[in-house]
Amino acid sequence: MSFSHSLKERANKVWEDGYNHPFVQGLGQGTLALESFKFYLVQDYLYLLQYAKVFAAAVMKSDTEQLMAGFSRSQDYILNGEMELHRAYMKQFGITEQEAAQAKSSLFNRSYTANMLHYGLTGGLAELLAAVFPCAWTYADYGARLKADFAAQYENNPYKSWIDMYASDEFAQSFAWFYDALDGLVEHMSPAQRENIAEIFISSVEFEYLFWDMAYKQQMSY
């Protein structure tokens, strides 16, 4: 197993705790409280704006055309793919773009994005990629599993389009290049350096868990 593919197993406990969180399970069951989902939508909208900035930093740090193109495509998918779904949902639930833009990020949201931006601005590409990787990978994994695990009630699920997006081949392909890119970036690193990359990855999976929990509780701060 390559280094990049082994990271999911390294983060297995919090990864599975995230999938089994009542927010995520509520999405699959279609029973999640609407107010929790609306809170999540606004916070994730704000999150994605910062997430996209990390990919801009990655383009600046890239020293090959291949990496520049990959990070550019990922940023475009965030801004013109994921954000479109959020805007559509916000419109459906009566949240205007102005309201979303004027909303405050929660403490949990700010902590997560500050961590990613830290590595985006001060770290190398391996650190940066390890920090952003869990967002895409957990969403793809959770989306596919929710679609399979709750197939019986899926067609009537109010969150069906959310699950469809993250369970799609298109979404999986949007970050499929991350694996080889990260493996290449750590190829000549020492064991200690690789361990640091793994710890950055695991921390971002932990931040993902906290984001679900924050949204479920509609919690702006501690």
Q: Which residues are catalytic?
A: 135, 208
- CA–CA separation, 143 vs 179, rounded Å? 19
3-state secondary structure of 205: helix
- CA–CA separation, 125 vs 71, rounded Å? 11
Among candidate residues 75, 62, 78, the one with its CA nearest the CA of residue 181: 62
Q: For residue 5, count other CB atoms closer than 10 A to its CB.
A: 11
Residues in CB range of 77: below 8 A, 6 or more apart = 174
Do the Cβ atoms of 36 and 107 come closer than 8 Å?
A: no
- CA–CA separation, 23 vs 159, rounded Å? 12
Cα angle at 220 between 215 and 222, to 5 degrees? 105
Among candidate residues 63, 79, 75, the one with its CA nearest the CA of residue 126: 63
- CA–CA separation, 44 vs 137, rounded Å? 16
- CA–CA separation, 65 vs 201, rounded Å? 25
